Structure 1
Amino acid sequence: MSETGTETGPGTGTVPVAERPSGVIHDIGYRHYDGPRHGRGHAFAALTLNSLRGVFGLGRTARSKIMPFLLFGVMMLPAVVSIAVMAILKERALPYPAYAVTMQAVLAVFLAAQSPYLVAPDLRFRVLPLYMSRPTTALDYVAAKLTAMTLALFILIGAPLTLLFAGELLVDLPGPPHTGDYLAAMGTAVIYAVLLAAIGVALASFTPRRGLGVASVIAVYLLSSAVSAVLVGLLMSTSRDAAATWAWLINPFFLVDAVQNWLFGVEPHNDGGYPPDLGGPVAAALVVAITGLCVSALVLRYRKAAAS
């Protein structure tokens, strides 16, 4: 470069330094968004719907649809068989309030398999700050994930119950239809869905690895059901039947069944029944306490994760 503010180029002549362009702005096609801006409510609804679709594998790969739809088919199978039995024998095959307890293993596997999908990828790839930049908050995120899993579990329980009730109406069994039992079972399905969703999503949220999330949910279910069964067996073998009725409440499925027995007056679906008098209110209080504890843990977990 010369002292007069010019630069000698490789070609002919010189180019004044002051006249050289310092940068170029390229138009690559982005346009400013001038449409309506929806608030937190729309973001919450969109996240909930997307999460619910993902739980059933919709919008994902074909392999992701195998497990949820297979388990959904297994849940529907007893209802189909019961309708066939009703049509042939003209008698009721499977009580509505017993459906969820009878199929608890399938529900546990579904919860274990699908809960980590809702939370593990976001934790693993550290995209939570993007969700919560605006307008979604940690509470909105947790509520959306819990709502999605609750709806998925309610569909899993409510669909076969509704099919079974429709079959009973079509078969036209002797006597009035069991509408009360059906409504009681559907109301209890809401309690099952809320409690199981809170437990499953909370357990899965503590690890970004989906495999570990699946293992943690399965381990808690197996441990609670095994401890409950062993305690019931030991207590009943020593003629402590009253204490054995409390041991059933360790299993979350029998815990909700005890609430169903108390709220709707249906028969208990275990071998020894549930504690009389205070058993129902205590079971309901435990459901509320466990759900609240899991939700609180989720909120604290995601506030910390969003800030990191």
Structure 2
Amino acid sequence: MSGRFSGRRAIVTGASRGIGAGVAERLAAEGAAMALVARTVEGHDRLVGSLQETADRLAAYGVPVALVPVDLSDPEARSRVVDTAAERLGGPIDILVNNAAAAMYGDVADLSLKRRRLLFELNVHAPFDLAQAAIPAMRAAGQGWIVNMSSASARSWAGPPFDLGSQGATTAAYGASKSALNRMTNGLGAELHGTGIRVNTIEPRAAVLTEGADALVGGKLRADQVETLEQMVEAVVALCDCPADVTGASMVSLDLLAEWDIEVRSLDGTAPDDSTTN
């Protein structure tokens, strides 16, 4: 392990399972002190994975690990996340990975206001509340990395006729929230350019069959419509120490790996991941 992130403190939201847990493990393996944020501390009634399980895996790397259980849909609760993480890790946050999201699908004509509000609360407002809380210390340090997880569903369909894929138009509201996330990220990156704070989004080029995604679309996709967890994690981690002029961008996982000629490694960072191809 290179110690690439030694001396840095990171927050990863949605760290109880899937991409978030993978990113947290890879950052910890490379030396970062980790604050793990999610609702599920000990277990979930439907999905495998919890904050405690992620923390148990990270214990092998010998870095400080803090659990910050919170419902990110609650503005008051999430207002304390960054300060709590900094207090428990012993200093200001250098890296913020906004991975947690609400993935609610439904027919646009019938999708309730409650669900639409929750989508934007979790997928737009929560990431930017956490970013705003982290920015002052990053600005004082002259550097910081904010990575927001986006989705290909942010892009509009061309048509008619419309090629809507296996989920049809049910992803439109979710995609709208991710489109807003991309645009806000672009604006924040432009606004902070020159301060040393980098702000970017990254989305998978293909489906990453995490526990949640597999429950939704598992068995419905071809092999060429899937990328590995390790590939997605590698792309996220690349943006966690990217140069200062890489900011305000919306990037795609496999495209970024190819463009930057990045070798995909295992989650513990010790070896190339032989199951991946770029």
Specify if TM > 0.5.
Answer: no
Q: Which has the higher helix share?
A: 1
TM-score relative to the length of structure 1? 0.29
